[in-house]
Amino acid sequence: MTDALIAPPAVEAPPASWWRNAVIYQIYPRSFADSNGDGIGDLPGITGRLPYLRDLGVDAVWLSPFYSSPQADAGYDVADYRTVDPIFGTVADASELITGAHALGLRVIVDLVPNHSSEEHEWFRKALAGGPGSPFRERYHFRTGKGDNGELPPNDWPSIFGGPAWTRVADGEWYLHLFAAEQPDFNWEHPAVRDEFKTILRFWLDLGVDGFRVDVAHGLVKEDGLPDVGSHAEWHLLGVGESPCFDRDGVHEIYRDWRRILDEYPGERIAVAEAWAPSLARVSHYVRGDELHQAFNFSYLGTAWNVHEQWQIIDESLAAMRTVGAPTTWTLSNHDVVRHTTRLMQAGEGEVAGRKPAEVDQEAGLRRARAASALMLALPGSAYVYQGEELGLPEVIDLPPEVRQDPAFHRATGQDGYRDGCRVPIPWSGTAAPYGFGPDGGGSWLPQPDSWAGLSVAAQAGVDGSTLELYRAALAVRKAHPALAGTDNLRWVPAPAGVLAFERDGAENFRCTVNMGDQPVAVGRPGELLLASGPLDGTPDNVVLPPDTTAWWSI
Ligand code: GLC
Ligand code: CA
């Protein structure tokens, strides 16, 4: 018998926990709701809109960073981890938001950015001021350069945002930054860094947060000696192969420490890893029983819209997480990728970053996005919804260069410079910008398209067939149907060509049927129709699914 034939050790059935099948709504604070008319969304704006999220039916929100920051990377460059940036409000506002959310039955997850700080962080300022040999330099990665006069970077690592991952300071030393130069990487071998983050965790846990989204969770530990990546430079950043700066085994010790802290608090506080690892098996390491709770499933996000690949990635994702008893997660959009209304229609759609979104037929894009969302929300595990996808917002592809703020756009034109297009502020109401995003006349930090009046919350609420009502209905069924409470109960069922179908067993069974082909397909009447992502054809006894349409049934 070979190893391959030996079944993996059985993992005990996991207990029911809120996060195992939670729908978590990502709020990008600067683009959600602006309370004071400066054109930038803020914490009081979010607090004011919490009833909308309760009515939508999500279980929790995840807030992208709102900490003190010079905003070189929209807040992913943190200067002080225990204060709120004045553009977003105060710690008291954060506390009010958390209390307000809890009162409505919503949990709150905040972003934690441990891989790097801002160049304005007190430690980095001391490191620069102290010069070579300063003990604060040891908390980051300072090195002398190569070449006769140290004029070359210490190694060949590229920054994810383009250009080298090293910047030289006035005294001649270089420091490492896997992202923008304003985001120096911490040295996680230094005990002060480890201690600092434990106290940051406790600060926010004490304030009442229900968990953390861990930014660049795979990047904290670098290989000893910072060896060159050599010919792998192209792909190592995308997490498709082994790399000296990502997914090192040493990182897991940090998460075991954090898990002990999370477990000290009542109410199941969680952490979700942003970990771009080379395989789902490697991703599963981050969610072993004594580490983090969830990891984003970027393999799923990047998968093309066809039966074979969707079946394969869903099956592999469930299998990989099952080996460690963790729930699988599903995401179609976030603040770093082209919105799926636009992305899923494109050729070469397997790629996530680094592409210019092309003009797509918006009607067709929306139809496919709705089918994809209905599929995602029918899967067992936890789903992440990015603000605005419930409105069917498309990627904004024609932002003029002068309004763009993504550092990637400015560091390397044409590389991954399109993250602004998914960050355009949300349309809430009205017929002209800022569409209720803030007070009239307040504007919005990125311009909203003229075509968004029909996509606002007010324009869609209560309207039969709107994308907002589709999400509301899907989330309501998800809560009510007995089979959808399961976290690992998916069973594939045979289906006609072009159609993906699965069932989930419960006191009543549930079936999801998705037509991913380009022809209408008759699927009969598998049971009671619960929901459809778009208009159906045929008769009640022989339903015909048009292309790019998902239907839910109770059987
Ligand atoms: C993560 C964030 C992204 C940010 C980067 C650096 O990938 O999602 O927005 O630019 O980390 O912090
Ligand atoms: Ca504001």
**Which domains are present in the chain?**
3-115+191-470 (3.20.20.80), 122-176 (3.90.400.10), 490-554 (2.60.40.1180)
Nearest CA to ligand 1 atom 12: 76
* Structural Rg of the chain based on CA atoms: 23
Q: What are the angstrom distances between the C-alpha of 405 and each of 75, 266, 342, 413?
A: 12, 40, 21, 12
CA 20–ligand 1 middle distance (angstroms)? 25
The whole-angstrom separation of Cα 205 and Cα 211 is 8
pTM score, two decimals?
Answer: 0.95
Which residue from 62, 76, 334 has its CB within 8 A of the most atoms of ligand 1, so it is best to mutate?
76
The whole-angstrom separation of Cα 141 and Cα 455 is 46
At residue 2, the pLDDT reads 37
Any catalytic annotation for residue 93?
A: no
> CB of 216 closer than 6 A to ligand 1?
yes
> CB of 251 closer than 6 A to ligand 1?
no
Ligand with minimal distance to 425 CA: 2
Each residue of 196-225: pLDDT tens digit?
Answer: 999 999 999 999 999 999 999 999 999 999
Each residue of 255-288: pLDDT tens digit?
Answer: 999 999 999 999 999 999 999 998 999 999 999 9
CA 216–ligand 1 middle distance (angstroms)? 7
Split at pLDDT 50, 70, 90, the class of 303 is: very high
CA 215–ligand 1 middle distance (angstroms)? 6
pLDDT above 90 coverage of the chain, percent: 84
Any catalytic annotation for residue 224?
A: no
Split at pLDDT 50, 70, 90, the class of 236 is: low
Nearest CA to ligand 1 atom 5: 76
216 Rama class: left (phi>0) / alpha (psi -120 to 50) / beta:
left
Q: Is the pLDDT of residue 347 over 70?
A: no
Nearest CA to ligand 1 atom 7: 216
Q: Is the pLDDT of residue 191 over 90?
A: yes
At residue 409, the pLDDT reads 77
Q: What is the DSSP string of 69-112?
A: ---TTTTSS-SEEEEE-TTT--HHHHHHHHHHHHHTT-EEEEEE
Which residue from 296, 336, 405, 406 has its CB within 8 A of the most atoms of ligand 1, so it is best to mutate?
336
Nearest CA to ligand 1 atom 9: 336
Ligand with minimal distance to 186 CA: 1
> CB of 161 closer than 6 A to ligand 1?
no
> CB of 76 closer than 6 A to ligand 1?
yes
Of ligand 1's listed atoms, the one at least distance from the Cα of 76 is: 12
The whole-angstrom separation of Cα 447 and Cα 466 is 24
At residue 15, the pLDDT reads 55
